[in-house]
Amino acid sequence: MRYQDELFRQREELLLDTALALFRECGWEKVTVSQLAARAGVAKGTVYKHFASKEAIYASLALRFSRSCLEQYESMPHRPSPLESIREVIRAAFARMLSHPLEVQLCLHCDRPEFQSRLDESQRGAFQALDEQYNALFHRLVEAAVAAGEIPPKSPESLYWGVDAVFQGVMARIAAGGLGLERHATPSLEIYSEHVVEFITAGLLGRFPDPGPEASP
């Protein structure tokens, strides 16, 4: 490996770390590419050697974060109860997100079609691959719980939709730093997420007893 290639790789890591630090200080929308270049000790044009756009920096940070989360979840030990394994993965995910609100904000920002359409192919492809990996992980977990009789037989697909929706919502709340707008007695985000875990679990278990066409009180 040539000196230049190694320098390029290291500088790219430095730029991402520097961006993260600056974003934490000032908010990612407010940080300019010039500020990032100055902080990292390079010229502004050099930043564009590494990243096609400011948005590509956001994407790189989101991808980096998502990858490390997935690694964590995939290496978690299995419990005797597959449903408990699911709950633990969900808890771990919430805990991870709670300690990285900035990254959560970036992930949400990137997870929109207009944004994705502005990325180059390789980054877009990376998001897709990650998405598929998350999906596969969820399927594995749910299928194990169904096979163990802990969850009623139901397509992992439709369960995923419910869980996905909750995750999106929790991410938005974590990204916002709370339940927003002082709307009501605000719990700590930890308590909030534990309640949501319970909500998800119930959602996965489904209604019991199974309702008739017109359930009556």
Partner DNA sequence: GTCATATAATGACTGACGGTCATATTGTGA
Partner DNA sequence: TCACAATATGACCGTCAGTCATTATATGAC
Q: Does residue number 53 form part of the binding site for DNA (CB under 7 A)? A: yes
Among 6, 13, 143, 198, binds its own copies (CB under 8 A): 198
3-class SS of residue 46: helix
Site string for its own copies, 32-71 (x = CB under 8 A): ----------------------------------------
> Is residue 129 within 8 Å of residue 63, measured between CB atoms?
no
Helices (H), 41-112: 44-50, 54-74, 82-98, 101-110
51 versus 65: smaller Cβ distance to DNA: 51
Q: Does residue number 9 form part of the binding site for its own copies (CB under 8 A)? A: no
14: region left, alpha or beta (phi > 0 left; psi from -120 to 50 alpha): alpha
46 versus 72: smaller Cβ distance to DNA: 46
Sign of CA dihedral 117, 120, 137, 156: positive
Among 13, 17, 32, 99, binds DNA (CB under 7 A): 32
C-alpha dist (Å) from residue 75 to 61, 88, 190 = 22, 12, 23
C-alpha dist (Å) from residue 139 to 115, 135, 155, 196 = 27, 6, 9, 20
Q: Does residue number 3 form part of the binding site for DNA (CB under 7 A)? A: yes
7 versus 129: smaller Cβ distance to DNA: 7
Angle between helices 82-98 and 101-110 (to 10 degrees): 100
Stretch that binds its own copies, among 1-9, 47-55, 65-73, 183-191 (CB under 8 A): 183-191
Of 54, 62, 65, 56, the closest CA to residue 32 belongs to 54
Q: Does residue number 190 form part of the binding site for its own copies (CB under 8 A)? A: no
Among DNA, its own copies, none, partner that 12 touches (CB below 5 to 8 angstroms by kind):
none
Stretch that binds its own copies, among 1-9, 47-55, 65-73, 111-119 (CB under 8 A): 111-119
The contacts of residue 31 (CB under 8 Å, 6+ apart) are: 19, 22, 23, 25
What whole-number distance in Å separates Cα of residue 217 and Cα of residue 198? Answer: 24
Q: Write out the residues near DNA by the rule CB under 7 A.
A: 2-4, 7-8, 11, 30-34, 42-46, 48-49, 52-55
Q: Write out the residues near its own copies by the rule CB under 8 A.
A: 27, 29, 80-81, 83-84, 108, 111-114, 116, 127-128, 131-132, 135, 148-150, 157-170, 172-173, 175-177, 179-185, 187, 192, 195-196, 198-208, 215-217
